[in-house]
Chain A
Amino acid sequence: MASEAPRPEDTKRVITEAYPSKAARKRAKQIVVNAPPDTEGFRPQILSNTRTTPGVITQRGCSYAGCKGVILGPVRDILTITHGPVGCGFYSWLTRRNQTRPPSEDAPNYMPYALMTDMQENDIVFGGEKKLRKAIREAYEIFRPKAIAIAATCPVGLIGDDIHAVARDMKEELGINVFAFSCEGYKGVSQSAGHHIANNGIFQHVVGTQDEPPEGRFRINLLGEYNIGGDAFEIERILERCGITLVSTFSGNASYDQFARAHMADLNAVMCHRSINYMAEMTEEKYGIPWIKVNFIGAEATAKSLRKIAQYFGVPELIDGVERVIAEEMPAVRAVIDEIRPRTGGKTAMLFVGGSRAHHYQELFREIGMRTVAAGYEFGHRDDYEGRKVLPFIKVDADSRNIEELDVEPDPEQYRPRKTADELEALRAQGLDFGEYEGLMADMEVGSLVIDDITHHETERLIELYRPDVFCAGIKEKYVIQKHGIPMKQLHNYDYHGPYAGFRGAIRFYREIDRMVNTRIWRHVTPPWAEKPQPEVLRQAS
């Protein structure tokens, strides 16, 4: 398949030439043919985190979706009220990608609920604060939560409702933690703005508010893991086997108390760099917790990440424990790879999804011998593609400027450096990078296509030109791809399958891809008579 594929430069030309000139110029900067780093280690520059061109069909969502849906979605016991008309609150009422396991039958779990003020015309004209206050009181009476969050939708910002003042007042009145997120859909250029707003809010209002240290010697936080399809459950299983204590996950299978104690951990392990790198940075600044980039998608990646965590703590007992777990888990993984690889090896994939998934899932495909010929992020920034090396060179534009950057300083009481400068240096010398992420391009083949904020038009052209064996994206793209007769795997909610993280998740993904590229129905898309000439004579009855 790959040998018949067009040259990536030609593909780029073909897919941009349909646009009006202004849009074409912009798209040309967002489509990059991957190349080796230059002498100073820089990758080709990609335009990203920039506005989507109006009228161009995009995969992207909005700031509210990023805040309420992605970050707050998997938190079971913060009662989130959407302040706005009915739609946004209704659409963020999903649970599959936000699984959770409350510790008991009667422990709070608000995830199957969608709460909102359902603003009507009068609230828009006369202001919605009064209704919001009332809604919070009504919600408190029914649910008695320990914390209430308010998420703003587009009109709230425009009419000037002061949701933060409402939150302050209600916090005082009810005696519970109440806080608000100004995550109106028009903020920023994608979901990414909403992640930032959500993390800032959790950092300011929840993290560090409980000081009881959790039990366990090797205490970490997992950042940027959202328990899609139960991923966090598998990671929790593995960490527990290794003897690593998970203080909190931001925010898969999460609870309020875990966030409140997150500052008691000794290491932050970051999965999705895009959605949460600033939380890692702020936690290090304020509490002295260093962070490393990990990846639990892919069996080899999982093993490598566990080893990095063990290396950080540097205790033989943990290092041996991790090696024992890897040794015990890997045979089952290898057996499935050996079984499946003959059926998947040499096939191709494309991934256009999320802010790290288009990177991490390449590892799983690689493990079963599949190549990723094109990939890109829905809401990535330059550093997610090119690595954190480019951070000083990213220009802040108007759309990014209106997302608050918190000014963080070491906390006078809670700051506690986990490692001395010498210890960190020694670990670095051993190859453990802190606060580092090389980005997607470093892991992709030279000559592969890297596309930011891919459009519908480009998706269709890529499909026609490359005919990949599987395409990964979201629900909006799914049936477009499948009408072309190509199986499409959702990586936002896994098509109600999963988990795919960790060792058992890897096995599940291999089997899923094996199924998808070998499902018989795709062979029958073309009817048998389509390419056969009409027979001249009917067979005679004998």
Chain B
Amino acid sequence: MLLRHTHKEIRDRSALTTNPAKTCQPVGALYAALGVHRCLPHSHGSQGCCAYHRSMLTRHTKEPVMAATSSFTEGASVFGGMANLTQAIENIFALYDPDVVAVHTTCLSEVIGDDIPQIVKSATDAGKIPEGKTVIHANTPSFVGSHITGFANMTKALVEYFAEPGTVPADRINVIPGFVEPADMAELKHLAAEMGVESLLFPDTSGVLDAPMTGRHEFYPEGGVRVEDLRTVGGSRATLALGAWASAPAAEALEKKAQVPFEVLDTPIGLLATDRFVDALRRVGKVEVTASVTRERGRLVDLLADMSQYFYGKKVALVGDPDPLIPLTEFCLTLDMKPVHVVTGTPGKRFEERVRGLLGEAGVEGNVAQASDMFHFHQLIKNEPVDLIIGNTYCKYIARDEGIPLVRHGFPVLDRVGHQFFPTVGYRGAMRLAEKILDAFLDRIDREPDEAAFELVL
């Protein structure tokens, strides 16, 4: 038993987090910043944070993850990080020539109280920031929120720094995708394009963190939202913010700054959440749903009907980030499965309300927890076993100990390759997700030892 010390008996814990179901803000901010073309993320703190975040994102995406750091030592911790950031800005522009440097803070620089806009202003006054280049920032102390709030804060910073009110009136719709894979961002653009809706996605890591191999490393790959486009998001007709945690703050900021109306939708994972996204594109974009999109949907429904006998009544435990977990829970219910444990590490009471609401409508009794950890999640499973776990790579310990199939989804997925290329949003993403879930069940049946019942056709 790998997790041999995890027992059934659930004791109250108020101080100890064990096996967290979240990580810290800066890694989310870094990921969001990579979704801007020719942007270099910069971690303002000691260099270990940046090393950890780059390692984690690299392991997850299997792609180069470029980011710089202020490399604090003890002196900077005592005297403040101004000298380090100023020097960093100078070196970054000389060496890497980005259009944007996206600074995020760490717990260290937050505790010291470094005033980033002030430092950047001084650097600007001293002529250290080349003409036409921008240094933006987001406050991302690790003792608040999670990687999801970090993503939200940097996305909001993109609006605050770049959006200009009332620029070029357009038929365009802004889409804020949330903390999803590069392939998911591409799939969202595909759906909008298929519908004939002009969309602008930000941030957009597609084309950045799924760059082709050409024989030469492009420091700034082709992808990412362009700064000139970010400047015009204030002229878009509306904003669709996908995911209340990761995307709503930027949409709210844009409404405040440029009066762009917005709708907050669930991340379009599964049939129903994708339906709502497509319908929103139709309403807000003032278009009809195209036959091609309706066909995509029809294929998904056809597939799910073919698969449905295997899903009915299966118990599922889900752990991860709030935005994807809500539609994942809904998708499991669509498939007639029972999501009996749903746990997120990111704080937010609304999460519990939403998931309880979904379970209540479906008549499923389940445990729902926010600001919780995977130790608790495992204990819930020990008390009420499940047929399937959906969660990130760290679930593999639980899956192995308890003999439960695992479908990897969320952040981070460290031990499988390819998820950066295959979406799980949209109808096509739902097809892949359903296939993965069914394969997990069927592979298990094929491994079971009853030879008499071993079937060629399942």
User: Which residues of A come within 8 Å of B, CB atoms?
Assistant: 18-20, 23, 51-65, 81, 84-91, 93, 105-106, 108-110, 112-121, 123-124, 131-135, 137-139, 141-143, 153-155, 157-159, 185-189, 398-399, 402, 456-457, 460, 474-476, 478-485, 525-526
Complexed CA–CA distance, A19 and B88 (Å): 12
A170 to chain B, nearest CB (A): 13
Please pick, from A114, A117, A186, A484, the residue contacting B217 in the complex, using a CB distance under 8 A.
Answer: A484
Tell me whether A120 and B24 are in contact (CB under 8 A): no
**Which B136-173 residues have C-beta < 8 A from chain A?**
141-144, 146
Please pick, from A23, A116, A185, the residue contacting B108 in the complex, using a CB distance under 8 A.
Answer: A185
List the B side residues contacting A81 at CB < 8 Å: 16
B127 to chain A, nearest CB (A): 13
**Which B33-74 residues have C-beta < 8 A from chain A?**
42, 45-49, 51-56, 58-59, 62-74
A-B contact count (CB 8 A): 254
Tell me whether B18 and A93 are in contact (CB under 8 A): no
Tell me whether A109 and B4 are in contact (CB under 8 A): yes
- What is the number of residues of chain B that contact chain A, defined by CB distance less than 8 Å? 85
Tell me whether A87 and B27 are in contact (CB under 8 A): yes
CB nearest neighbor in B for A53: B91
Tell me whether A476 and B107 are in contact (CB under 8 A): no
Tell me whether A113 and B3 are in contact (CB under 8 A): yes
The 5 A-B residue pairs whose C-beta atoms are closest, nearest first, are A62-B48, A87-B24, A55-B88, A55-B91, A134-B15
Tell me whether A114 and B19 are in contact (CB under 8 A): yes
Tell me whether B47 and A58 are in contact (CB under 8 A): yes
List the B side residues contacting A399 at CB < 8 Å: 73-75
Please pick, from A20, A117, A483, the residue contacting B214 in the complex, using a CB distance under 8 A.
Answer: A483
A54 to chain B, nearest CB (A): 4
User: Which residues of B come within 8 Å of A, CB atoms?
Assistant: 1-5, 7, 11, 13-20, 22-27, 42, 45-49, 51-56, 58-59, 62-77, 84-85, 87-92, 94-96, 106-108, 110-112, 141-144, 146, 211, 213-219, 345, 375, 394, 397
Please pick, from A18, A138, A525, the residue contacting B15 in the complex, using a CB distance under 8 A.
Answer: A138
List the A side residues contacting B217 at CB < 8 Å: 460, 480-481, 483-484
B215 to chain A, nearest CB (A): 4
B214 to chain A, nearest CB (A): 7
A121-B143, A124-B143 are contacts. A158–B15 as well, Cβ < 8 Å? no
B94 to chain A, nearest CB (A): 5
A141-B11, A476-B65 are contacts. A55–B23 as well, Cβ < 8 Å? no
Complexed CA–CA distance, A314 and B94 (Å): 60
Tell me whether B64 and A479 are in contact (CB under 8 A): yes
List the B side residues contacting A65 at CB < 8 Å: 48, 51-52
Complexed CA–CA distance, A23 and B93 (Å): 13
Please pick, from B56, B63, B111, the residue contacting A124 in the complex, using a CB distance under 8 A.
Answer: B111
Inter-chain pairs besides A55-B90, A61-B48, A185-B47, 7 sampled, C-beta below 8 Å: A62-B47, A91-B56, A112-B397, A119-B143, A123-B143, A134-B16, A141-B11
Complexed CA–CA distance, A113 and B70 (Å): 31
| Residue in B47, B53, B91 whose Cβ sees the most chain A Cβ within 10 Å | B47
List the A side residues contacting B64 at CB < 8 Å: 479-480, 483
List the B side residues contacting A114 at CB < 8 Å: 18-20
List the B side residues contacting A59 at CB < 8 Å: 51
Tell me whether B215 and A185 are in contact (CB under 8 A): no
Tell me whether B47 and A61 are in contact (CB under 8 A): yes
Please pick, from B1, B14, B24, B42, the residue contacting A105 in the complex, using a CB distance under 8 A.
Answer: B1
B77 to chain A, nearest CB (A): 5
List the A side residues contacting B112 at CB < 8 Å: 158
B244 to chain A, nearest CB (A): 21
A460 to chain B, nearest CB (A): 7
A235 to chain B, nearest CB (A): 24
Tell me whether B20 and A90 are in contact (CB under 8 A): yes
Complexed CA–CA distance, A354 and B141 (Å): 29
Complexed CA–CA distance, A344 and B214 (Å): 25
Tell me whether B107 and A153 are in contact (CB under 8 A): yes
B53 to chain A, nearest CB (A): 8
A57-B66, A121-B143, A476-B54 are contacts. A112–B3 as well, Cβ < 8 Å? yes
17 CB-based A-B contacts, threshold 8 Å = A18-B95, A19-B95, A53-B87, A54-B68, A54-B70, A57-B66, A58-B69, A61-B48, A65-B52, A85-B142, A86-B24, A112-B397, A154-B108, A158-B77, A186-B76, A476-B54, A479-B63
CB nearest neighbor in A for B70: A54
Tell me whether A155 and B5 are in contact (CB under 8 A): no
Complexed CA–CA distance, A47 and B52 (Å): 25
CB nearest neighbor in A for B212: A483
List the B side residues contacting A87 at CB < 8 Å: 23-27, 49, 52, 107, 142
B410 to chain A, nearest CB (A): 14
List the A side residues contacting B345 at CB < 8 Å: 86
CB nearest neighbor in A for B18: A115
List the B side residues contacting A137 at CB < 8 Å: 15
Tell me whether B90 and A485 are in contact (CB under 8 A): no
Complexed CA–CA distance, A136 and B69 (Å): 33
Please pick, from A61, A117, A121, A154, the residue contacting B106 in the complex, using a CB distance under 8 A.
Answer: A154
Tell me whether B58 and A85 are in contact (CB under 8 A): no
CB nearest neighbor in A for B89: A55
Tell me whether B87 and A54 are in contact (CB under 8 A): yes
A56-B95, A117-B16 are contacts. A189–B45 as well, Cβ < 8 Å? no
